[in-house]
Amino acid sequence: MKKIIFSVLISVIILGFSYLQLFAASEKFELKTSKATLTIDHNGNLHIIQNQGQVIQVNTSIYNLWKVILKNNLNNREYTIIPDKNVTIDKSDKIFRLVVNSISIENKALPVKAEFTISEKDDAFCFSGSLKSDSDEWMLKELDYPIISGIQIKDNNPGIYWPVGLGQYFNDPVEFGNRSLRYPDGQGAAMAWFSLNSNDVGMYIGSHDSLQEIKVFNLGYDKSLKMFGTHINTPIFDHEYVIPEMILKIYNGQWHNAAKYYRSWYDKHFEIVKPPDWVRDDPGWLLAILKQQNMEVMWPYKDIDKLCDIAEQFNLSTISLFGWAVGGHDRYYPNYPPDNLMGGREELKKAIDRAHSRGIKIIIYANGKIMDTSTDFYKYNGFETILIQENGRPQIQYYLKQKNSTPVIFAQACTGSEVWRRTMYELGFQAASLGADGIIYDQVGIMNPMPCFSKNHDHKPGLGDAKNRLQMINEARQKSREVNPDFIVMTEGTNDAIIRGIDYHHGCGLGSMISFFGVDGFPELFRYTFPELIMTQRNPNPMITRTDANWALVYGLRHEIESRYPGDVEYLLYGTLPTAESYLNVVSPPSIKKMNLLPAAEATKYVHSLIEFEKNNSDFFRSGKFIDEDGIEVKGNDILAKGFVNGNKIGVVAWNQHLTEKSDFSVSVPGYHLIKAIEPENSVVEGTLPLHANSIRLLIFQKN
């Protein structure tokens, strides 16, 4: 007891000494970027002020910058450590260094060291540091850092650009409230940055972690104080940790500049896969479940010919085969032997050959993340392959496709397992051997990167499997390309960790459709940051409405038709419009309302003409780069217009979203002049004429 009191006294003395000596009242620490100044005064108050106009200001304290959770490995208890003033401050060489002298619990000093730094890097403020435990007894569990409170923006409604899915935009901070997003996750944070923006100035917050490990981004708005607060949470589960660079940047201009800043960091560390030319030119796909979860066969292998007919009617040139193996859709994974009931292996190979002779590509399905717990695979390989949660349990998921069936129970696999990865790349090799043009590893891009505590995997216990997912995909591609050099790997959803290995994305999540479970996305955010991404829209219907097709075109997304249930087959083969009874027994049916909007043949004809239009203007819709509205001026009610640049030309596609009334509008591109205007059904038109209801026009501009 005496010893503890003595050490506390010593600490207090050290604190007073170091604190006063290194930071006299007349002194302050200062960092400057081209747009802002960061100062820390002798009381530890941290201010960030935007130089011009002071629209953005941050007032926080260095004594609230971090929080660490330690775990005691002997008693399994967790302890939250919050900062006190027992720190040493060093501010040499333009680096502010905050060294935590002592971390203690119940007056007992622990063998844990922490150091936090603030510096200027790449014209931004960079928060980094390191943590170390010198004892096996104490593990670093997680870190909140930097915790930045007191963010004021002199505008009642600064916009929030939030990286969930392909993106979300909020113009009301009160509506935004408090939110958090886990990265890298197609349904969570698909990118490791977000931005607040107001009247041509903005604040960028990003994690520049070249390992792309799990981060949780938190942002909240206090409506009484009219202030934002943010912090980044990082799971660690290790004894030593170097904090990757967490970046706060004040910038001028619109959010596009924040996106470009993140992309320039990304390009220093990573390279995005370049898909074969056929993917670049692909207009989209027909997703067909051949056999459902209840074992009902809808499309035997020989009927792949009929699927080719349907794809051609829509002008689509890729078909994905889901539920193509013995277990049907969402059963018996990861077992995917060709089904004799549907015609057997040779019949499947012949059908794929016939599709190729018509110029149609075939993609084969495998789920990259889950295994059916009723399989021998789970029984004998589960121990090595499943994701283990912190409580030692598997992560269980249920999938149900028909209301009168027993849900199928799956365990989540971890791609950190070499056995799982081998199982997956053998499926890729099988797909290539069947003659398919690619494999879709479902859920690899979209599933939450949960920490896995298995001791059998190629990651440290407590980390996610993001980098192993990439490893799995790369192994699969390499092996399959021995059979077919143009073989591709696809997945559902996207995030910027997986984008490095995926040739083609099956759209999923916010921003992959106009409204995702009632929430509007802002796909501009991801599309502008990663314009080379090739992704389908998500359209769980056996037809595409004119509105959905136009929407996808504007964002440069490829189209999708889905055949999942017998009602879809009736519609696709015979044009039968569904009634409420058509899908009574199925889970997540297509939109009966959309299907009944117009006769099937008319719906199909519009999509065909729209895709023809895209092909005729492939310079923009296939080879062009999506630039959103950056550098483009658009006026007009109900007009949504986006640009695609190629060389010295910019194609701006304008869409009148009004369903019944035509709209006057104008589009101009400073520094460019209009050379041509085209519409899908009217060919060349006068660019300045009003745009008909729910119609699109491409305006082609050339550099002056």
Indicate if the alpha-carbon torsion angle 519, 511, 146, 80 is positive or negative: positive
The answer to whether the beta carbons of residues 73 and 138 sit under 8 Å apart is yes
Residue with Cβ nearer Zn ion (394 or 521): 394
Q: Which residue in 344, 355, 345, 349 sits closest to 307, CA to CA? A: 355
CB count, 10 Å around CB of 121? Answer: 15
Least distance from Zn ion to the Cβ atom of residue 451, Å: 9
> Cβ of residue 447: shortest distance to Zn ion, in angstroms?
13
* Length in residues, the chain: 704
- 395 or 656: whose CB is closer to Zn ion? 395
Span interacting with Zn ion, options 23-31, 245-253, 314-322, 407-415, rule CB under 5 A: 407-415
Coil, strand or helix at 554: helix
Judged by beta carbon, residue 35 or residue 460, the one nearer Zn ion is 460
- Mark residues 364-403: x for contact with Zn ion by CB under 5 A, - for none: ----------------------------------------
Nearest-approach distance from CB 387 to Zn ion, in angstroms: 5
Nearest to 447 by CA among 428, 471, 466, 463: 466
Tokens of 163: 């990286």
Q: Determine which residue in the list 159, 184, 334, 416 makes contact with Zn ion, applying CB under 5 A.
A: 416
Binding marks (x or -) toward Zn ion, 567..596, rule CB under 5 A? ------------------------------
In the block, which residue shows the tokens 């002020």? 49
Beta carbon of residue 240, minimum distance to Zn ion (angstroms, whole number) = 20
What's the closest the beta carbon of residue 388 comes to Zn ion, in angstroms?
Answer: 7
User: With CB under 5 A, what is the number of residues at the site for Zn ion?
Assistant: 5
Closest separation in Å from C-beta 495 to Zn ion = 18
In degrees and rounded to multiples of 5, residue 581 shows phi and psi of -75, -20
Angle (CA) 494 191 363, round 5°: 10
Under 8 Å between Cβ of 687 and 699:
yes
Instruction: Give Cα 61 distance to the centre of its chain.
Output: 33
Nearer to Zn ion, 304 or 466 (CB): 466
**Closest CB to Zn ion among 147 and 414?**
414
193 φ/ψ angles, rounded to the nearest 5 degrees: -155, 160
- Residue from the set 414, 513, 632, 654 that interacts with Zn ion by CB under 5 A: 414
> What is the four-CA torsion angle of 611, 615, 619, 621, rounded to 10 degrees?
20
Cβ atoms of 399 and 474 within 8 Å: the answer is: no
Q: Could you tell me the smallest distance in angstroms from the CB atom of residue 209 to Zn ion?
A: 19
Nearer of residues 33 and 454 to Zn ion, judged by Cβ: 454
- Determine the Cα–Cα distance for residues 548 and 537; give it in Å rounded to an integer: 9
Nearer to Zn ion, 137 or 458 (CB): 458
Separation between Cα atoms, residue 167 and residue 220, nearest integer Å? 17
Q: Which is nearer to Zn ion, 142 or 465 (CB)?
A: 465
* Smallest gap from residue 282 Cβ to Zn ion (A): 34
Q: Which residues of 165-196 are buried (b: 16+ CB within 10 A; e: fewer)?
A: bbbbebeebeebeebebbbbbbbbbbbbbbbb
| AA identity, residue 48 | I
How near is the Cβ of 405 to Zn ion at its closest, in Å? 30
CA 120 to chain centre: 28
Element (H, E) at 227: strand 227-238
CA distance 368 to 385: 12
- Interior CA angle at 600 toward 599 and 604, to 5°? 125
| Nearest approach, Cβ of residue 684 and Zn ion (Å) | 57
Amino acid letter, residue 264: S
What CA–CA distance (Å, rounded) separates 423 from 364?
A: 15
Nearest distance, CB of residue 235 and Zn ion, angstroms: 13
| DSSP string of 438-498, one letter each residue | EEEEETTTTS----B--SSSSS-TTB-SHHHHHHHHHHHHHHHTTT-TT-EEEEES--TTG
Per-residue contact string for residues 194-213; x = within reach of Zn ion by CB under 5 A? --------------------
- Whose Cβ is closer to Zn ion: residue 112's or residue 387's? 387
Which x/- pattern over 444-473 shows residues binding Zn ion (rule: CB under 5 A)? --------x-x--x----------------
At its nearest, how many Å lie between Zn ion and the CB of residue 425? 17
Contacts of Zn ion in 337-366 (CB under 5 A):
none
Amino acid 47 reads H
Provide the pairing of β-strand 318-322 with 284-289.
parallel
Half-sphere exposure of 93 (CA within 13 A, CB side): 3
Token pair for residue 374?
A: 């009723």
Tell me the closest approach of the beta carbon of residue 73 to Zn ion, in angstroms: 19
Q: Output the smallest distance, CB 211 to Zn ion, in A.
A: 16
- Which is nearer to Zn ion, 464 or 590 (by Cβ)? 464
| Minimum distance, C-beta of residue 214 to Zn ion, in the bound complex (Å) | 13
Residue with smaller CB distance to Zn ion, 415 or 694: 415
Between 385 and 512, name the residue whose CB sits nearer to Zn ion: 385
39 in Cβ contact with 46 (< 8 Å) = yes
> Which lies closer to Zn ion via its Cβ, residue 248 or residue 472?
472
Q: Indicate the residue among 44 and 334 with the shorter CB distance to Zn ion.
A: 334
The angle subtended at Cα 475 by Cα 470 and Cα 481, nearest 5°, is 125
Q: Residue 230 interacts with Zn ion (CB under 5 A)? A: no
d(CA 326, CA 318): 23
Instruction: Find the helix or strand (DSSP H, E) in which 548 lies.
Output: helix 546-554
Task: State the minimum distance, in angstroms, from the CB of residue 417 to Zn ion.
Answer: 6
From the centroid of its chain, how far is CA 617? Answer: 28
Q: Which stretch binds Zn ion (CB under 5 A): 406-414, 530-538, 592-600, 616-624?
A: 406-414
Which lies closer to Zn ion via its Cβ, residue 457 or residue 622?
457
Distance of closest approach, residue 454 Cβ to Zn ion, in angstroms: 4
Q: Which is nearer to Zn ion, 205 or 411 (CB)?
A: 411
Bridge partners (DSSP) listed for residue 168: 162
Nearer Cβ to Zn ion (401/457): 457
Kindly give the residue spans of alpha helices, DSSP state H, lying in 121-182.
173-176
* Segment contacting Zn ion by CB under 5 A, of 154-162, 412-420, 490-498, 505-513: 412-420
Binding site for Zn ion (CB under 5 A): 414, 416, 452, 454, 457
